[in-house]
């Protein structure tokens, strides 16, 4: 998949949104749990947590 295939970031208009996946509590895969801008300085992100959509939460590293 090429970068042109990803949606354009609506915040900075120069990055693209990259999909991220995760695993649920029972180990089931969750595809596209979050989308983040390819430009770290932009920082835009959208994610799903327990069925709720959150926009723009601060991105940080996990200790896991």
pLDDT in tens, 9-28: 999 999 999 999 888 888 88
What's the mean pLDDT in 35-51? 90
Q: What percent of the chain has pLDDT over 90?
A: 41
pTM value? 0.72
Rounded to an integer, what distance in angstroms lies between the CA atom of residue 23 and that of residue 13? 30
Select from 39, 42, 34 the least CA-distant residue to 62: 34
Say which residue, 41 or 62, is predicted with more confidence: 41
pLDDT at 17: 95
pLDDT at 26: 87
pLDDT at 12: 95
């Amino acid at each position: 998949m090429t970068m042109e295939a990803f949606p354009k970031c609506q915040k900075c208009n120069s990055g693209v949104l990259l999909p991220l996946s995760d695993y649920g509590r029972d180990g089931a895969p969750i595809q596209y749990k979050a989308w983040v801008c390819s430009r770290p300085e932009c920082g835009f992100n959208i994610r799903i947590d327990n069925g709720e959509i959150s926009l723009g939460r601060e991105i940080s590293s996990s200790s896991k």
